[in-house]
Structure 1
């Protein structure tokens, strides 16, 4: 399968367009702004891993942190987002830090799982309201970027593809009439 086809299928799986999707198809050959370099610091990767784990926590399958999503996100932001999108993303991360301190008097990483979830659910609600009034060709809300990168990073990782999805290393014949049972996992292959 070609990369373009795989990305189209991922887009359908995630239920919409991937932010910066055109850039993925162009090969992610964009120069990064100098500010994005801070995303590769160990502290930022740990912060991103905690946010991703809150979005996609460990259950009977591994969570986003185990799948290495915290290290995946900076690479995608650096290589695939425009300068404007990178700026919005970085400002959004700072907003999460500031809001955590303001509302809970503590760093996001030190909040309980319930507090983290409550904070991100509130931010997601604000995102939904803002995106209703945003022009279709404008820059997306930073939380949309975070959420989509978390899903992309997780489901394209080995852990996500093999443990959260059904995976066959060497797929067999095509069966257009395969029985579906409620609760079956989606296919990774």
Structure 2
């Protein structure tokens, strides 16, 4: 807690005796999500993890949640995206939840895996149509950014590179003519 928050809470305490204990109890007992960085809170990271896990679920290899893709997205958006793209991405998190609530009657986190997959498939079709018709000056669709960051975050993570891809910590010579067997995993770079 910083000084400004402490002063604000003291003012609420003193004002609470005048206004009433009910208002004070309501404000004091309402949990707030922890801030992860300047743009995201822990609830948003949990939602991004679930979106990523729906895109890349755990099968015989770990899924996106095991690679902490939600946390990765927050760092990339904060450090690498333009302010305009940051706004689109942040707004997209709430837009995703609202669209899911409209479609399924509940928030994304409350849906089961089948509902999440069906919803994200519909959202994927929407973003493909948007990307196809957009002008160069238009921003990207938020779901496009989420999908790209999910793939980048997963396949560049230790879990993705070592469990989903083939990985050699100290590679040898380059062999451009290796044999390929159907079903082999791709190589991590």
Q: Relative contact order (alpha carbons < 8 A, sep ≥ 6): 1 or 2 greater?
A: 1
Structure 1 spans left out of the alignment, 5+ residues: 1-35
Q: Distance in 2 between matches of 1:38 and 1:141?
A: 18
Structure 2 spans left out of the alignment, 5+ residues: 1-36
* Corresponding residue of 1:164: 164
Deviations 1:76-123 (A, max 9, x none): 001111111011111211111101211212121110101001111101
Q: Distance in 1 between matches of 2:82 and 2:182?
A: 40
Deviations 1:119-166 (A, max 9, x none): 111011011111111123532111110000000100010000001000
Stretches (4+) displaced over 3 A = none
SS of the equivalent of 2:171 reads: coil
* Corresponding residue of 1:46: 46
Query: Do the aligned residues in 1 keep the contact of 2:44 with 2:93 (CA within 8 Å)?
Result: no
* Corresponding residue of 1:37: 38
Q: Distance in 1 between matches of 2:165 and 2:69?
A: 17
Q: Distance in 2 between matches of 1:140 and 1:117?
A: 22
Q: Distance in 2 between matches of 1:138 and 1:184?
A: 40
Query: Do the aligned residues in 2 keep the contact of 1:38 with 1:44 (CA within 8 Å)?
Result: no
SS of the equivalent of 2:38 reads: helix
Q: Quick check: 1:103 aligned with 2:73?
A: no
* Corresponding residue of 2:177: 177
Give the structure-1-normalised TM-score.
0.77
Give the structure-2-normalised TM-score.
0.77
SS of the equivalent of 1:37 reads: coil
RMSD: 1.3
